[in-house]
Structure 1
Amino acid sequence: MSEQTTELEKEFELERLILFSDAVFAIAITLLIIEIKFPHVPKGASNSEVLALFTPTIIGFLAFMFSFFFIGLVWSRHLNIFKYLRTYDNGVIFYNLLFLFFVVCFPFSASGLEHFRPSFFLPMYIYAVNVALVFLTQYALCNYIFVRKKVLSKSGYEPEKKYMLLKSKYFAISICSALLIALTLFIIFPDYGYVSLSGLYAFAIIWRIMKKRLKKYKPKPIVE
């Protein structure tokens, strides 16, 4: 009876961990839109003045849209990882909190994009570093559960867990490699900030290569 009670308590604690994570995701998304303020437009302002006033708001809203869907993507991957989690330990709590820390940093890094301009690329790099750290810590969490502490995950489902682990790993490699290329180009050509945007093309190419490698590990659907 005591063993059964302990298992039920463990399941309840695990559910609390998942609910806490979901709450952090929800708060991060909510804070994104709270940061966007409707600009004050003075009476008699010309069209060019109105456009100038709305430009930061438009950029902020675009950053919100991108961040919203990005956080949604990260949440869905987090959901898939925890689907195979049987129990937890302090390591899971640590890596999950580290991952959530960078998720909840998005309202700050996204708000900085409103100040982005051709001569000031720093907000773009802060945002890109935030994205990279989210995927790195998510991979670290995935690796801890499926590789370092296999006993924490449910038995079986090995192809699915391996695919999920490699997908997290390859995506993190693609993001970090593209960011490194962008930073290198910016250092070499500091007066031509837009050349660092080639990091986006680098990401597309690297991720395409990684997807081809990942394809052979994709689990086959079960035919009933």
Structure 2
Amino acid sequence: MSDRVELKKEFQIERMILFTDAVFAIAITLLIIEIKAPEIHKNMVFTEMVDQLLNLIPKFIGFIISFFVVAIYWRSHHRMFSFIKDYDDKLIWLNFFFLFSIILMPFSSAYYSDNTTYSLPFWFYSLNVALTGFLNYRMLTYIIKHKGRISDGFDDLKTRQLARWRTLIVPAIFLLGIFIDLILPKEHSMNMLSRFTPMLIWPAIALLNRFFGRVNDLEYHEKPKAKHRK
């Protein structure tokens, strides 16, 4: 009877993971769908075609940033759920709220990419990414708090610290962008630095990995059973 219960539990967890993967796949696909291919009219010269593509550069930059941000969150979710051995209603709803912020990203990314010089679209997009990060952090802390009941692993303090810091680094960097945009006058040339703060994500993650040095522990690996001496 217990084997049937365990199989059913594994099946339900697998359903949650598959549903999450489907939402990520839809969101990451919608990012590129938002970029409309330019129409080439009759008698249009080569330079005009090039201009059409050049006009799409802000949208492609927004797409590339959003693509890798979504990829980072998928990787984080993949690692997090490798520790899961059981589930409850709260974990399900935390996962739903997290997915809500992910599926909102194609809209916020398109809104910002179409209006890069304005503050509000930039704030909206950055807050969307930050919300995703904080919801991801909330889910992580819940999983760590209930280790032994719904999760295995996270036994080492440094591993838990690295997991938390890595989860917070992306929202912190996007909030830094909003802060720079708020404190610098709009006409100041340095104001545009706020738009490039996402480039700090990868160096920041590399520094965290170097400091803690426990990246391999962020994904659950079952410890080999000790061999009994005869």
> Contact 1:113 / 1:124 at 8 angstroms: preserved in 2?
yes
Do residues 197 (structure 1) and 193 (structure 2) align?
yes
Instruction: Give the corresponding residue for 1:19.
Output: 18
Q: Which residue of 1 aligns with 2:129?
A: 131
Q: 1:122 aligns with which of 120, 144, 151?
A: 120
Q: For 2:144 and 2:99, locate their aligned partners in 1 and report how far apart those are by CA, in whole Å.
A: 19
CA shift in 2, pair 1:114/1:42, >3 Å: farther
Structure 1 contact 177–203 (Cα < 8 Å) conserved: no
After superposition, the CA RMSD in angstroms is: 3.3
* Corresponding letter in the other structure for 1:158: D
Distance (Å, rounded) in 2 between the aligned partners of 1:113 and 1:51:
23
CA distance, structure 2, for counterparts of residue 210 and residue 73 of structure 1? 13
- Give the alignment partner of residue 218 of structure 1, picking from 206, 210, 214: 214
Tell whether the 8 Å contact from 1:14 to 1:88 is kept in structure 2 after alignment: yes
Q: Which residue of 2 aligns with 1:184?
A: 182
In the superposition, the TM-score normalised over structure 1's length comes to 0.79
Aligned letter for 2:151? S
Show structure 1 runs of 5+ residues with no match.
none
* More moved, 78-87 vs 124-133: 124-133
Aligned partners of 2:20 and 2:104: how far apart in 1? 14
1:106 aligns to 2:105 (yes or no): yes
Q: Identify which of 155, 165, 169 aligns with 1:158.
A: 155
Change (3 A) 1:135 1:153: same
Distance between the aligned counterparts of 1:172 and 1:113, measured in 2? 18
Question: For residues 195 and 164 of structure 1, what CA distance do their matches in structure 2 show?
Answer: 32
1:103–1:194 distance in 2 versus 1, CA, 3 Å: farther
> 1:203 and 1:185, CA in 2 relative to 1: closer, same or farther beyond 3 A?
farther
Structure 1 residues 163 and 122: CA distance shift in structure 2, 3 A: same
Q: Unpaired runs of 5+ in structure 2?
A: 225-230
Could you tell me how far 1:17 is from its partner in structure 2? 0.3
Query: Distance between the aligned counterparts of 2:37 and 2:205, measured in 1?
Result: 42
Q: Does the 8 Å CA contact 1:139/1:168 hold for their aligned counterparts?
A: yes
Contact 1:63 1:110 in 2 (8 A): yes
* Whole-angstrom CA distance in 2 between matches of 1:58 and 1:209: 27
Question: What is the rounded CA distance, in whole Å, between the counterparts of 1:177 and 1:44 in structure 2?
Answer: 47
Q: Which residue of 2 aligns with 1:30?
A: 29
Query: Following TM superposition, by how much is the alpha carbon of 1:184 offset from its aligned partner in structure 2, in angstroms?
Result: 2.7
| Cα distance per residue 1:148-181 (max 9 Å; x no partner) | x232111x44124443233213x15632551452
Point out 4+ residue stretches in structure 1 off by more than 6 angstroms: 219-222
Percent pairwise identity: 31
- Greater fraction helix: 1
